[in-house]
Amino acid sequence: MKNDRKRTFLLITIPILALFVCFNTIPLIRGVVYSFTNFRGFGKYDWVGFRNYMDLFTDARVGKSYWFTIKLAVVTTIVVNVLSLILALGLNSKIRAKGFFRGAYFLPNILGSLVVGYIFNYFFTYIIPALADMTGIKSLSTSILSSPGKAWIGVMIVCAWQAIAMNTIIYISGLQTVPEDVYEAGGLDGATGWKQFKHLTFPLIIPFFSINMVLSVKNFLMVFDQIVALTKGGPSQSTESISYLIYNNGVSGGQFGFQSANAVVFFIVIVIISVAQMKFSGSKEEQL
């Protein structure tokens, strides 16, 4: 009986492992191999060694895309987590129609990123300028997406609007793990309002905060759909994320080998940032 059970678990695991290897591991290995070639995505190719990797550090367009992506990830992560935590505190309190509000705020997460992006594209391009003309606000009379210096703000708004839903749910889950006895004991010591949140609530939901921070940074570093729907990297390549640059120049730009090297470096950067975040968060949890 015990051997049959082990055999059943093995039969369940093998097909999933095979699929993972076929659609994840093998493409990853092939991508690393192509990063050492001048492959254009078709035809023959030659080995170029580490030339693609060296060219990455001298390519101004790549550097610009890294700067934009990191800036977007940092700012959006801060905005999302601050708003999500405030929203979670409100939705976790004793208010009427709490279930309805939770469902309503989660709705953006259900919608596809491309759908949301195209809706906001129309909103930024037509609705806001029309309202600005009616109210006489000249600074909003043109689309924010057409300004090289402001277009990233539009991308940030869309990314944040959709990401807040899931982060809020995670924070609510964390808040519900805090025992009422803690608040009662804190109330006897005079811990109310901000003091209660700072000294009781937040330290107890640090693990959930850590999860949200890691997932937020990772997701925003890999932003792609919103760029496609809103700006396509423009204007003047000011909103060209790393993922969009890899796809656009690698698939249709004849730089498959070069962008494969970019993808390898980007993967390493994401792993380093994620591990650093987890170690930092883990040390904070141990201190608390």
**Dihedral sign (CA 71, 77, 82, 86):** positive
In a domain, 18, yes or no: no
In a domain, 8, yes or no: no
Based on its alpha-carbon atoms, the radius of gyration of the chain, rounded to whole angstroms, reads 23
In a domain, 11, yes or no: no
Question: Per the structure, how many domains does the chain have?
Answer: 1
In a domain, 163, yes or no: yes
Domain enclosing residue 120, as ranges: 51-287
Better-predicted residue by pLDDT, 252 or 184: 252
In a domain, 275, yes or no: yes
Neighbours of 36 (CB within 10 A): 19
In a domain, 73, yes or no: yes
**Dihedral sign (CA 79, 80, 85, 88):** positive
- CATH number, residue 216: 1.10.3720.10
pLDDT tens digit sequence for 22-33: 988 998 899 999
Degrees (nearest 5) of the Cα angle 161, 167, 169?
115
Average pLDDT rounded to a whole number, residues 45-49: 89
pLDDT tens digit sequence for 117-166: 999 999 999 999 888 888 888 877 888 999 899 999 999 999 999 999 89
Interaxial angle between packed helices 60-91 and 151-175, expressed in degrees from 0 to 180 and rounded to the nearest 10: 40
In a domain, 28, yes or no: no
Q: What pLDDT, on a 0 to 100 scale, did the predictor assign at position 2?
A: 60
Better-predicted residue by pLDDT, 117 or 5: 117
| Collapsed DSSP state (helix, strand, coil) of residue 47 | strand
In a domain, 219, yes or no: yes
> Has residue 258 got a pLDDT over 90?
yes
